[in-house]
Amino acid sequence: MNTTKSRAIKTNVQRLIAYLFFFFMATLSIVPIWIMLVNASRSTEQIQQGISFLPSVYLLENWKILTGRGFQISQGFLNSAIIALSSTLLTVYFSAMTAYGFHVYDFRGKKPLFALILGMIMIPPQLGLIGFYRLMGQLHLLDSFIPLILPAIAAPSTVFFIRQYLRATFQKELVESARIDGSSEFGTFNRIIIPIISPSLATMGIFAFVGSWNNFITPYILISDKKKYTLTMLVQLLRTDIYKTEFGGIYLGIAVCIVPILIFFAFMSRYIIAGVALGGLKE
């Protein structure tokens, strides 16, 4: 009786320590972001005087400082949105198509081709950057969105995940009865298969979107026309002499770049975390 009681107390103490530890780590995650959001609304003078965890009223003035020095937010936002949305659509649709092709049909060379795709997942995309840069130069595609969007068609890891999903959900009878009803192969894929595998497409779409939105090095190397800057490229301007110590403007600039992704995350975090967990599971 006494031992169970002391054991319960011990468990409760351990629980408390665990929660304190969690609280500390959660604070660590949030504080830098919180300070940034708060400082985006404080004047540079206030920021230099000390830390505050409460917002102030200088948002509009910071906005003027930020946009007054060539930080074309709406243009950058639009560019990022165009690139991220088109990349996501291409990645999701063509990866589904490729995964379906590999899963349903038996064709010559299927196995080595799939092995090649698997191998490519482990190869960092930066490896071919200089070749890619020169190739795009020769094709006169520097300063164009095409090299930032088109490669999204071939996303090996997404193909792999969707194929895993197909393995679990796909029924051959469905395709066979569609054939008997006179549906074309692409018609079957578009009308019957896509709706069935849409949960996996949503998960992969979220990752594709975040990845494209956050991409820095590719646009940084390929784009030089300021009108075509993406948000991540604009944000690096905040580290240049243009802004020096205009802290209010700098924090607001970072906030503008991060807030859309924060909102996106607020709605999608459940799916993102489920997707990350999937990635680590053994086959």
Partner 1 sequence: MRRKKGIAARYDRYGYFFIAPFALIFLMLQLFPILYTLFLGFTDYKGLSTNFSMVGLENFYSVVNDVSIPGFAEDDAWAVVDQLYDELRIDADAEEGDEGFTLLIFNVKKRNLAAVETLLADYDIDAETIKAGLNPIKGGLLYDTFFWKAFRNNWIIWSMNFVPQIVIALLIAVLFTDLRLKLKAGSLLKPLFYLPNVLNTASVAVLFATLFYWPVGPINQFLSQSHLLSESINFYRSAGWTRGIVAFIQFWMWYGSTMIIFIAGISGISPSLYEAAYVDGANFKQMFFRITLPLLKPVALYIMVTSMIGGMQMFDIPYLLTNRRGDPDGSIMTTPVYIYIQAFTNANNYSYASAVSFGLFLLTLLLSIFVFALLRDTSEIKTVKPRGKML
CB 79 within 8 A of CB 230: yes
Distance, in Å, from the CA atom of 142 to the CA atom of 228, rounded to the nearest integer, reads 11
Residues 127-166, mask of contacts with partner 1 (x by CB under 8 A): xxxxxxxxx-----------x--xx-xxxxxxxx------
Our CB check for partner 1 shows the closer of 195 and 279 to be 279
Write out the two tokens for 157. 């890891």
* Of positions 18, 20, 115, 242, contacts partner 1 by CB under 8 A: 18
Our CB check for partner 1 shows the closer of 82 and 104 to be 104
- Among positions 77-106, residues that touch partner 1 (CB under 8 A) are 94-95, 97-98, 100-102, 104-106
Size of site (CB under 8 A) for partner 1: 105
Our CB check for partner 1 shows the closer of 31 and 57 to be 31
54 binds partner 1 (CB under 8 A): no
- Among positions 164-223, residues that touch partner 1 (CB under 8 A) are 179, 185-186, 189, 207-208, 210-211, 213-214, 216-217, 221
| Least gap, CB of 54 to partner 1 (angstroms) | 14
Task: Check residue 42 and give left, alpha or beta (phi > 0: left; psi -120 to 50: alpha).
Answer: beta
* Of positions 20, 68, 78, 110, contacts partner 1 by CB under 8 A: 110
Half-sphere exposure of 104 (CA within 13 A, CB side): 21
Distance, in Å, from the CA atom of 46 to the CA atom of 43, rounded to the nearest integer, reads 5
Distance, in Å, from the CA atom of 219 to the CA atom of 221, rounded to the nearest integer, reads 5
280 binds partner 1 (CB under 8 A): yes
Concatenating the DSSP letter of every residue in 164-184 gives: HHHHHH--HHHHHHHHHTT--
* Of positions 81, 113, 142, 194, contacts partner 1 by CB under 8 A: 113
Angle at 207 between CA 120 and CA 238, to 5 degrees: 100
Write out the two tokens for 9. 């107390």
| Least gap, CB of 66 to partner 1 (angstroms) | 13
Of 40, 34, 65, nearest in space to 244 by CA: 65
Q: Near partner 1 by CB under 8 A, which window of 44-52, 57-65, 71-79, 81-89?
A: 44-52
CB 133 within 8 A of CB 222: yes
* Of positions 2, 54, 108, 244, contacts partner 1 by CB under 8 A: 108
- Among positions 229-248, residues that touch partner 1 (CB under 8 A) are 231-233, 235-236, 238-239, 247
Q: Near partner 1 by CB under 8 A, which window of 56-64, 65-73, 81-89, 265-273?
A: 265-273
Q: Break the chain down into helix, strand, coil percent, rounded to 5.
A: 80, 0, 20
Q: Alpha carbon 134 to chain centroid distance?
A: 26
Our CB check for partner 1 shows the closer of 124 and 182 to be 124
Our CB check for partner 1 shows the closer of 2 and 29 to be 29
CB 217 within 8 A of CB 129: yes
